[in-house]
Amino acid sequence: MEMELKDIGNTPLLELATLSVNGNRVFSKCEYLNPSGSHKDRTYLNIINKLEKAGVLKPGMTLIDCSTGNGGAALAWIGRLKGYGVKIFMPEGMTEERKTQIRTYGADIVETPKESFLTGAVLQAKAYLSENSSEEFYYLDQSNSLLNKDSWRCCGKEIVKQLSAQNIVPDFFVCSIGTGGTFSGIAEVLKQTYSGIKTIALEVSNSAPLFAQRNNLAFNHRSHNLMGLGAGVLSANTDSGLVDEIRVIDDVDAWARMKHFIASEKIPIGPTCGANLLMCDEIVQAHKCKSIVTLFFDSSWKYASRWDGFYPEYSEVRHVAGRNL
């Protein structure tokens, strides 16, 4: 059956039985069940709907954004259904599955040099826009547009409803950050609803600008294999005031945790979900009788061609990717 825009959202909140030890309970919002296979469907549907309402987008325009793949697929799918052209600026070396998906939805991909990763993709998108008519193209800018964070309030409200139906008051919210839109929009609603909740944001250790800022460290971006996290800049959508604690996760450990979870639970999550699970593991070992909410962003099928976690284009990943995978 063809999926429609109304199929975005209203995802299940799944209790993770194997993590629920010491009387703790862990719940994960299954965003990989969105039509294009990731949480980014919510982001782009909201951004486009709001810009249409504001009269900014005109039929037939081409929508532009930068992405490592999930955002690109979501934008390509929604753009096609709504009648927009879509052009995605994407760093070289992203998985074939993601590129194929974007092209299957009819969007163009401009691959940008691996050396400058996502910051290079942004520069190239801006250069393209400055050379082309603003009547025809619109840069959605998921990193800087606060419509991104705004998209996630609705998911936060769904979580509140789903927890209330089971009389659960959550103690922790755990979520990895790329742009931080997902974390911030949900965290805002959860904090407004539950005064005692503690929010924990996660960054990949090789590219952790908020962690560096909070700990007075110099920030350096290094390559990693958690695509979707660690773009090399702190996005405007990461609302630091909503982050009670910022922690870093090792990319190789996250891949290993994902594989362990898939083997034990038979739920085919992606690597950044493994990062969320590592933090949940730590909480359930340290506490008793707490409720923890986290999120599953996407699925393993988006990484099948890189299932060893090795991205040869990103040479700094080369030495870590062989470990424990």
Ligand X SMILES: Cc1ncc(COP(=O)(O)O)c(C=O)c1O
Q: Give the one residue of 177, 187, 190, 208 binding ligand X; rule: CB under 6 A.
A: 177
At 318, which amino acid appears? R
Rule CB under 6 A: is residue 120 a binding residue for ligand X?
Answer: no
Rule CB under 6 A: is residue 112 a binding residue for ligand X?
Answer: no
Rule CB under 6 A: is residue 178 a binding residue for ligand X?
Answer: yes
CA distances from 165 to 155, 158, 196, 313 (A): 15, 11, 19, 47
Q: Give the one residue of 28, 34, 176, 205 binding ligand X; rule: CB under 6 A.
A: 176
Q: Considering only residues 245-274, where is the footprint of ligand X by CB under 6 A?
A: 270, 272
How buried is 52 (Cβ within 10 angstroms: 0-12 exposed, 13-18 middle, 19+ buried)? Answer: middle
Q: Rounded distance, CA 71 to CA 85, Å?
A: 15
* Binding-residue pattern over the window 217 to 236 for ligand X, x denoting contact by CB under 6 A: -----------xx-------
Q: How far apart are the first and last CA of the chain?
A: 36
- Kindly indicate which of the ranges 119-127, 155-163, 175-183, 193-201 contains the residues binding ligand X, using the contact rule CB under 6 A: 175-183
Our CB check for ligand X shows the closer of 170 and 180 to be: 180
Rule CB under 6 A: is residue 70 a binding residue for ligand X?
Answer: yes
Kind and range of the H or E run holding 251: helix 251-265
User: In the complex, what is the shortest distance from the CB of residue 255 to ligand X, in angstroms, rounded to a whole number?
Assistant: 12
Q: Taking a C-beta distance cutoff of 8 angstroms, is the pair 320, 234 a contact?
A: no
Q: At what angle are helices 70-82 and 40-53 packed, to 10 degrees? A: 40
Our CB check for ligand X shows the closer of 25 and 40 to be: 40
Rule CB under 6 A: is residue 182 a binding residue for ligand X?
Answer: yes
Rule CB under 6 A: is residue 298 a binding residue for ligand X?
Answer: yes
- Kindly indicate which of the ranges 9-17, 57-65, 125-133, 179-187 contains the residues binding ligand X, using the contact rule CB under 6 A: 179-187
Q: Give the one residue of 72, 156, 170, 180 binding ligand X; rule: CB under 6 A.
A: 180
CA 70 to chain centre: 8
Q: Rounded distance, CA 4 to CA 27, Å?
A: 27
- Kindly indicate which of the ranges 55-63, 81-89, 122-130, 170-178 contains the residues binding ligand X, using the contact rule CB under 6 A: 170-178
Q: What angle do CA 92, 97, 100 make, to 5 degrees?
A: 80
Q: Which residues bind ligand X (CB under 6 A)?
A: 70-71, 176-183, 228-229, 270, 272, 297-298
